[in-house]
Structure 1
Amino acid sequence: MRNVYKCIRELIFLYKKYSRAEKVFFRDFIYDVDRKLVYLNNPKVACTSIKKSMFGERQNIHAYVPSVRELSAEMNDYYKFTFVRNPYERLVSCFEDKCIQHPGDPCWEGFRNLLEVRNFNQFIIRIYLIPNEQAEAHFVRQYNLIYDKKGRCLVDFTGKVEHMNEEYKSIRERFNLLPLSHSNRAASLTDRNWMDYYTPFTAWLVYRKYKKDFIAFGYEDEYRKLKDYLKNRKYETRN
């Protein structure tokens, strides 16, 4: 019980810290002047493959690509696109990559003390407590990435990574891009089903925090599927 109270006190302290913090979230627009093309970078959603498709194989593709945080007036006529992902899978990918496989990643610097955990339930609870305005791009709401404060969409096309082969094809052909490499730096350490990471409580937390993502991008049914899966898993365990 003492450990539970200690954990609660730590979480309250962290919540107060981040609720008082200045805004740190920013967008990352990858642009190609020659093609008049802009990709709104969405981490953990095939972003490495898309960058390589636009600029070719590079030793450090993330550092190589030209990017801006705000679009200039001359980019108004550029074609802008991005891709989204099931919020549940996106967070599992984020956890495996940044907490398990690459905990020293520089992009995690400002959140290392908060999210340096190897327990997925703790990870989700801590993510839940971080205000979206202070969220890092890997776990910010995708809705806030793609829509501005006035609710205006910042891109011309939003695809779903689950349908990427079909939906990216028209962009690739229109702008003469390279085929997708399907590289995945954060490939799962095991063959574990991503659904097995969740409990009914953490599934609810994610749905509550990312509800706009589920609704805006057509993932609402994923919450029902996950609840049914967890319910059946519990039944199978009992039997």
Structure 2
Amino acid sequence: MALYDPASIKHRKKLLDFENNTNISLRNRYVYFAVDKVANSSIKNSLFDIEYAPVGKKTVTLYDKRSSPLLSPYQLPPDLLREVLNSGNYFRFAFVRNPYSRLLSCYLDRILTASSKPRRQLNAYLKGRGEPTEDVTFESFIRAICAQGSNTQNSHWRVQADDILFGDVEFDFIGKFERLWQDMAVVSSRIWGELRPEMANKDVNKSPRATNAGGKLREFYTPELAALVADRFAADFDAFEYERDILSY
């Protein structure tokens, strides 16, 4: 990304999501591009603990960026933001997930929770299409989100390649949800030169609601729904090397 170009970003995602999900450490010189429904809570918990360690502070919440020790792009002057996003002086990383399990996890966690913000946004979209908003099925959810452009999708189901601005941002490392703590160790060694204990706690799962979506794929996906996801989320399958054949999982 040559510059902080709002027009370019808006083509792929919402600007507010860019601000909320881009996490910058000036002290430790890294940028974490968070992707919702990809162990975001566990990763942030580890990073927050490390960032607060020098002053002995405790994390207040993982879910309000205003309480984060990590900065957002708008808080940096343009020249520093340019350095953060482009230069070799900062380690840029993200984590991604199998699109099939990520979308199912989103459905089980956010869509089946009628009061959640993603569900309310989905309801508004369905209403605009003249579709029912009560008792949204997994099929209705998949068909609706596959009809959306990335820049209008909610961050919990946005195409991950667009969500992290893949191809515009040059990444130093992209880890995977499926090998979370193994890849967290890689991130730790690249940033701190060692495995920080905060990045090695395999028993930590800070997700407010674990869904075990990876073990339920065949229960929810039909061949037609899997084909829809494979087509709409092709950028994720290709860029991050996930198998399209759902029977292989």
| TM, length-normalised to structure 2 | 0.71
Further displaced range: 156-165 or 108-117 = 108-117
Aligned to 1:168: 184
Pairwise CA RMSD of aligned residues? 2.8
Aligned length: 202
Q: Which residue of 1 aligns with 2:3?
A: none
1:92 match: 104
The amino acid across from 1:37 in the alignment is Y
Given that 1:200 and 1:227 are in contact with CA atoms closer than 8 Å, whether structure 2 keeps it comes out as: no
Alignment match of 2:32 (pick from 39, 44, 54): 39
Is it true that 1:30 corresponds to 2:30 in the alignment?
no
* Alpha-carbon shift at residue 156 of structure 1 (Å): 1.4
Tell me if the contact between 2:25 and 2:71 (Cα under 8 Å) persists in the aligned partners: no
1:161 Cα deviation from its structure 2 partner: 1.2
Asked if 1:214 is matched to 2:237, the reply is: yes
Moved over 4 A (4+): 189-192
CA drift at 1:108: 5.2
Contact in 1 for aligned 2:31/2:92 (Cα 8 Å): yes
Q: Shift of residue 123 of structure 1?
A: 0.5
Question: Hey, what's the Cα distance between the residues in 1 that align with 2:230 and 2:163?
Answer: 17
Alpha-carbon distance in structure 1 between the residues aligned to 2:184 and 2:248: 31
Q: 1:73 aligns with which of 76, 82, 107?
A: 82
Instruction: Say whether 1:142 aligns with 2:156.
Output: no
SS in 1 for 2:114: coil
Deviates more, 1:69-78 or 1:195-204: 69-78
Q: Which moved further from structure 2: 189-198 or 90-99?
A: 189-198
- Aligned counterparts of 2:29 and 2:176: Cα–Cα separation in 1: 22
Displacement after TM superposition at 1:160 (Å): 1.1
The structural deviation recorded for 1:204 is: 0.5
Change (3 A) 1:121 1:29: same
Aligned to 2:141: 123
CA offset digits 1:170-215 (Å, max 9, x no partner): 2224434613422222312899622311011110100010011101
Q: Could you tell me how far apart the structure 1 residues matched to 2:181 and 2:165 are?
A: 24
Q: After superposition, what is the alpha-carbon deviation per residue over 1:47-69, rounded to whole angstroms, capped at 9, x for unaligned?
A: 00010001136342121223425
| Inter-CA distance 200–53: structure 2 relative to 1 (3 Å threshold) | same
Structure 2: how far apart are the matches of 1:44 and 1:189? 12
Measure how far apart 1:106 and its partner are: 3.7
Distance 1:49 1:228 in 2: 27
Describe the SS at the equivalent of 1:182. coil
Cα deviations across residues 76-118 of structure 1 (Å, max 9, x unaligned)?
4221111110000000011111112x33234655434236553
Distance in 2 of aligned mates of 1:142 and 1:157? 15
Change (3 A) 1:79 1:94: same
The structure in which a higher percent of residues are helix is 1
Structure-1 separation of matches of 2:213 and 2:144: 24
Q: Distance in 2 between matches of 1:218 and 1:228?
A: 13
Where structure 1 has 5 or more consecutive residues not aligned to the other structure, the ranges are 1-21, 230-239
Q: Residues of 1 paired with 2:42 and 2:177: CA distance?
A: 11
Q: 1:128 to 1:157 in 2, by over 3 A?
A: same
Q: Is the 8 A contact 2:23 2:32 kept in 1?
A: yes
Alignment correspondent of 1:62: 63
How far the C-alpha of 1:166 sits from its partner, in A, is: 1.4
